[in-house]
Structure 1
Amino acid sequence: MSIDVAREQNMNDQIPFAAFSEAEHRARIAKARERLAAAGLDGCIIVAPENLFYLVGYDSVCASICPQALILSVHDDRDPTLLVRNLDLPLVKETSWLKNVRTYQLFVDDVATVVAEIAHDYGIANGRLGLDMQSPAVTGSYTNALAQALGGAKFDDVSQLLNWIQLVKSPAEIDFMREAARYANLGLEAARRTLQPGISEIALCAAVENAARQAGSDYPALPIECASGSRSAAGHATPMPKIIGSGELVHLEFAGVARRYHSVSMITMATGEPGVGARKLYDVGRESLVAGLEKCRPGAQVADIDIAARKPIERAGLDEAAQMRFGVGIGLAYPPIWLSALQLDRFSDGILAPGMTFYVHSWLSLPQDRLGVMLGGTYLVTDTGIETLSGAGPEELYIA
Structure 2
Amino acid sequence: MRAKFASFTEQEHRARLAEARRLLKEQGIDHCISMAPESLYYYGGYDSWVSVNSPQALIFSADDGEPTIILRDTDLSLAYESSWVKDIRHYRLMFDDVPAIFASIAKEKGLRGGKVAIETQSYALPHSLGLALAKALAPAEIVDATVLLGMPRLIKSPSEMAYMRKAGEYAQAGLEAARRAMQPGMSEIALAGEIEHAMRAAGSDYWSIPTELASGERTAGGHATARNRIIERGDLVHLEFAGVAARYHATAIHTMAAGEPSIRAREVYDAGRESLAAGIGAIHVGANVTDIEEASLEPLRKAGMEDAAVMRFGYGIGVAYPPIWLEPLQISRGSNQIMQAGMVFVLHAYLQFPDEQLGIIQGGTYALTEQGVEMLIGGGDVPLEVI
Shorter-chain-normalised TM-score: which range?
Answer: over 0.9
User: Match of 2:131, as an amino acid?
Assistant: N
- Residue 338 of structure 1 aligns to a residue whose secondary structure is strand
For 1:144, the equivalent position in structure 2 comes to 131
1:33 paired with 2:21, answer yes
User: Can you give the 5+ residue segments of structure 2 that lack an aligned partner in the other structure?
Assistant: none
User: Match of 1:29, as an amino acid?
Assistant: L
- Report matched runs for 1:254-269 at 5 Å: 254-269=241-256
1: CA distance, partners of 2:141 / 2:224: 38
User: Match of 2:61, as an amino acid?
Assistant: S
1:222 paired with 2:209, answer yes
User: Match of 1:215, as an amino acid?
Assistant: A
2: CA distance, partners of 1:146 / 1:155: 9
CA deviation profile, 1:243-301 (whole Å, cap 9, x unmatched) = 00111111000000001100000110111111111010000000111111111121111
User: Match of 1:90, as an amino acid?
Assistant: S
Contact kept in structure 2, 1:255 and 1:262, CA below 8 Å: yes
Query: Aligned-pair distance for 1:14?
Result: 4.3
For 1:96, the equivalent position in structure 2 comes to 83
TM-score by length of 1: 0.95
- Residue 319 of structure 2 aligns to a residue whose secondary structure is coil
For 2:198, the equivalent position in structure 1 comes to 211
For 1:327, the equivalent position in structure 2 comes to 314
2: CA distance, partners of 1:103 / 1:171: 34
Query: Aligned-pair distance for 1:86?
Result: 1.1
For 2:93, the equivalent position in structure 1 comes to 106
For 1:309, the equivalent position in structure 2 comes to 296
Q: Percent identity, aligned pairs only?
A: 50
For 2:149, the equivalent position in structure 1 comes to 162
For 1:16, the equivalent position in structure 2 comes to 4
CA deviation profile, 1:93-124 (whole Å, cap 9, x unmatched) = 10011111111111221111111111111111
User: Match of 1:42, as an amino acid?
Assistant: D
Contact kept in structure 2, 1:116 and 1:125, CA below 8 Å: no
For 1:70, the equivalent position in structure 2 comes to 58
Contact kept in structure 1, 2:113 and 2:139, CA below 8 Å: no
User: Match of 1:68, as an amino acid?
Assistant: Q
Query: Aligned-pair distance for 1:215?
Result: 0.4
Please point out which of 173, 178, 186 is paired with 2:165: 178
Contact kept in structure 2, 1:19 and 1:57, CA below 8 Å: yes
User: Match of 2:34, as an amino acid?
Assistant: I
Q: CA RMSD in A?
A: 1.0
Contact kept in structure 2, 1:326 and 1:362, CA below 8 Å: yes
2: CA distance, partners of 1:379 / 1:131: 30
Contact kept in structure 2, 1:326 and 1:344, CA below 8 Å: yes
TM-score by length of 2: 0.98
User: Can you give the 5+ residue segments of structure 1 that lack an aligned partner in the other structure?
Assistant: 1-12
Query: Aligned-pair distance for 1:152?
Result: 4.8
Query: Aligned-pair distance for 1:320?
Result: 1.5
2: CA distance, partners of 1:113 / 1:329: 35
1:239 paired with 2:237, answer no
User: Match of 1:57, as an amino acid?
Assistant: G
Please point out which of 34, 55, 58 is paired with 2:43: 55
Contact kept in structure 2, 1:229 and 1:245, CA below 8 Å: yes
Please point out which of 362, 380, 385 is paired with 1:393: 380
Q: How many residues align?
A: 387
User: Match of 2:46, as an amino acid?
Assistant: Y
User: Match of 1:59, as an amino acid?
Assistant: D
CA deviation profile, 1:208-243 (whole Å, cap 9, x unmatched) = 111111000011110000110000111100100000
User: Match of 2:293, as an amino acid?
Assistant: D
- Report matched runs for 1:253-292 at 5 Å: 253-292=240-279
2: CA distance, partners of 1:274 / 1:399: 8
- Residue 88 of structure 1 aligns to a residue whose secondary structure is helix
- Residue 89 of structure 1 aligns to a residue whose secondary structure is helix
Please point out which of 359, 367, 374 is paired with 1:380: 367
Contact kept in structure 2, 1:48 and 1:63, CA below 8 Å: yes
Contact kept in structure 1, 2:114 and 2:139, CA below 8 Å: no
Contact kept in structure 2, 1:225 and 1:252, CA below 8 Å: yes
- Residue 166 of structure 1 aligns to a residue whose secondary structure is helix
Query: Aligned-pair distance for 1:69?
Result: 1.4
Q: Larger % of strand: which?
A: 2
For 1:369, the equivalent position in structure 2 comes to 356
Contact kept in structure 2, 1:46 and 1:69, CA below 8 Å: yes
Contact kept in structure 1, 2:116 and 2:142, CA below 8 Å: yes
